[in-house]
């Protein structure tokens, strides 16, 4: 791997994990607001397993998932971030870990969950990378093995977060949505069309998902990109 490529990965990681690299920034504070709202929503029901998705690509769902994991871990919670995007995985890039083994190996029973999980350099955060890209992502997600993975992960961690493909791109997110306790929909200011956001919500509700709220990503306020959290109706 070239030095230039390594530098590019490092720069991307630093920008992606702003809550770790710059915890006092306004953006980091907004992620803590998201954390607070999730915890308020857990008054009557505990939300341990969460899915983060978006309408389309490039709207910030993976960055949101990673930083949400960080702010939860900063409270001393034990967090597992699972790369549920078995088509275009990115979690291993964000945390600079190996992707040799991961979700696909666990679901096909080639590795146990404990064997496939990778510790990160950030305290209290483990990740489960996607592993090898499979020919049948939807079938793997819609399997009994996925139910077992979620159950086991929930017993080992305080929070289990899933970074999934865009909800309108493929069916993977819809298949996972009713298996987790709650879903967060990420939309991008100036990029996500209103119709796409509405359609995404409809798809999630049709899948019997519990939508906790929406993160508005990339809203330009005072030269900073803020992240806002809105409770779902």
Rounded to two decimals, what is the model's pTM?
0.86
Comparing 87 with 188, which gets the higher pLDDT? 87
pLDDT in tens, 1-57: 444 433 333 434 445 889 999 988 888 898 999 999 888 887 777 899 999 999 888
Q: What pLDDT shows up at residue 218?
A: 67
Q: What pLDDT shows up at residue 8?
A: 35
CA 141 vs CA 63, 172, 175, 207: distances in Å: 22, 7, 7, 14
DSSP code at position 57: T
Q: What pLDDT shows up at residue 11?
A: 39
Q: Determine the Cα–Cα distance for residues 184 and 210; give it in Å rounded to an integer.
A: 9
pLDDT band of residue 98 (cuts 50, 70, 90) is very high
pLDDT in tens, 51-73: 999 988 888 899 999 999 999 99
Q: Determine the Cα–Cα distance for residues 48 and 39; give it in Å rounded to an integer.
A: 10
Q: What pLDDT shows up at residue 221?
A: 52
């Amino acid at each position: 791997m070239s030095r230039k490529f390594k530098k590019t990965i490092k720069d991307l990681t630093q920008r992606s994990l702003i809550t770790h690299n710059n915890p006092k920034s306004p953006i980091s504070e907004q992620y803590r607001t998201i954390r607070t709202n999730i915890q308020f929503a857990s008054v009557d029901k505990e939300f341990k397993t969460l899915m983060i998705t978006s309408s389309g690509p490039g709207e910030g769902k993976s960055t949101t998932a990673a930083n949400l994991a960080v702010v939860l871990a900063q409270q001393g919670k034990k967090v597992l971030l699972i790369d549920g995007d078995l088509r275009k995985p990115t979690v291993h890039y964000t945390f600079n870990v190996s992707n040799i083994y991961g979700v696909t190996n666990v679901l096909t029973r080639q590795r146990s969950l404990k064997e496939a999980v990778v510790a990160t350099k950030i305290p209290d955060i483990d990740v489960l990378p996607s592993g090898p890209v499979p020919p049948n992502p939807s079938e793997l997600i819609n399997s009994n093995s996925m139910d077992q993975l979620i159950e086991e992960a929930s017993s080992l961690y305080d929070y289990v977060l899933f970074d999934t493909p865009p909800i309108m791109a493929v069916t993977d997110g819809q298949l996972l949505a009713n298996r987790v306790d709650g879903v967060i929909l990420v939309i991008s200011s100036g990029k996500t069309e209103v119709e796409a956001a509405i359609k995404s919500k409809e798809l999630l509700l049709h899948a019997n998902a519990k939508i906790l709220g929406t993160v508005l990503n990339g809203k330009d306020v005072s030269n900073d990109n803020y992240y806002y959290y809105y409770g779902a109706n």
